[in-house]
């Protein structure tokens, strides 16, 4: 499905619009859709829709399905020519590419006949995320220690890799002096592992350029 933008809408407006109840007629039958659960995670809105078809005054048919809605910010460069925020969404049956759907939503909706292993992917993602949180909670950086950092971090110049750091303080947040000589505020998720004395001594004997080259695997 393509993206839809709504002129004048903010992200909050889009969320409210997607979650509002809707009623329409299909022939002589009244159809109602309403969101019975929802959660916004970053730029993604997950919600469970309950669709009710009134067959007659005494009979109704109800089904539920999960919707993955990617929220799109207004990319207009000028307020005078605003395109508005938008969204791009699909149901579980289409196989959403994201796997961070709340687990409780799976319990609210019966297993579809064809889900392309998407639910298994969701459960695996949550299990992996839970394990990562345990590892993060177990990290215990102390003042004065030197730590190896996660790959992909760069310094203030947006070019120099920062791969090691000395802990300056841990409360109320982690302050470090990185290998580029600058002081940064980091999250626990930026830390990889505490360095041993031998590893620290080896890096201290090397110049900055040699260290960067070694870390990048070029020697």
Q: pLDDT by residue (tens digit) across 207-217? A: 444 444 444 44
Cα–Cα distance, 125 to 111 (Å, whole number): 18
What pLDDT sits at residue 210? 46
Tell me: pLDDT of 14 over 70: yes
Q: CA-to-CA distance for 155 and 181, rounded, in angstroms?
A: 9
Reported confidence tier of residue 57, pLDDT bands at 50, 70, 90: confident
The per-residue pLDDT for 116 is 67
Helices (H), the chain: 11-19, 103-108, 118-138, 197-205, 208-215
Angstrom distance (rounded) from CA 188 to CA 134 = 12
CA-derived radius of gyration, the chain = 25
**Over residues 141-168, mean pLDDT:** 90
Do the Cβ atoms of 195 and 164 come closer than 8 Å? yes
**Distance between CA atoms of 161 and 176, rounded to whole angstroms?**
15
Q: What is the pLDDT of residues 106-118, one digit of tens each?
A: 999 998 877 668 9
What mean pLDDT is predicted for residues 191-209? 63
pLDDT at 115: 65
pLDDT at 204: 54
The answer to whether 91 and 67 have CB atoms below 8 angstroms apart is yes
pLDDT, tens only, 87-112: 999 999 888 999 999 999 999 999 88
* pTM of model > 0.75: no
User: What CA–CA distance (Å, rounded) separates 93 from 121?
Assistant: 14
Check pLDDT > 90 for residue 49. Answer: yes
pLDDT at 52: 95
Position with higher pLDDT, 133 vs 37: 37
Q: How many residues are there in the chain?
A: 219
Tell me what the pLDDT averaged over the chain comes to. Answer: 85
CA 189 to chain CA centroid, Å, is 14
Instruction: Report, as an integer, the average pLDDT of 52-78.
Output: 87
């Amino acid at each position: 499905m393509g993206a839809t933008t709504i002129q004048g809408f903010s992200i909050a407006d889009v969320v409210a619009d997607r979650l509002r109840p809707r009623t329409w007629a299909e022939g002589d039958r009244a159809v109602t859709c309403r969101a019975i659960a929802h959660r916004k995670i970053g730029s993604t809105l997950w919600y469970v829709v309950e669709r009710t078809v009134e067959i007659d005054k005494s009979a109704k048919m109800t089904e539920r399905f999960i919707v993955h809605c990617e929220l799109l910010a207004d990319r207009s460069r000028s307020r005078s020519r605003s395109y508005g925020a938008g969204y791009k969404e699909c149901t579980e049956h289409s196989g959403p590419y994201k796997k961070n759907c709340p687990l409780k939503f799976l319990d609210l909706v019966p297993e579809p006949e064809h889900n392309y292993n998407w639910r298994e992917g969701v459960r695996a993602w949550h299990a992996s995320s839970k394990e990562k949180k345990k590892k993060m909670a177990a990290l215990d950086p102390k003042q004065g220690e030197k730590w190896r950092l996660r790959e992909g971090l760069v310094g203030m110049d947006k070019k120099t890799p920062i791969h090691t750091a000395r802990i300056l303080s841990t409360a109320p947040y982690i302050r470090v002096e990185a290998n580029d000589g600058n002081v940064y505020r980091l999250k626990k998720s930026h830390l990889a592992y505490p360095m041993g004395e031998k590893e620290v001594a080896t890096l201290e004997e090397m110049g900055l350029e040699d260290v960067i080259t070694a870390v990048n695997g070029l020697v």
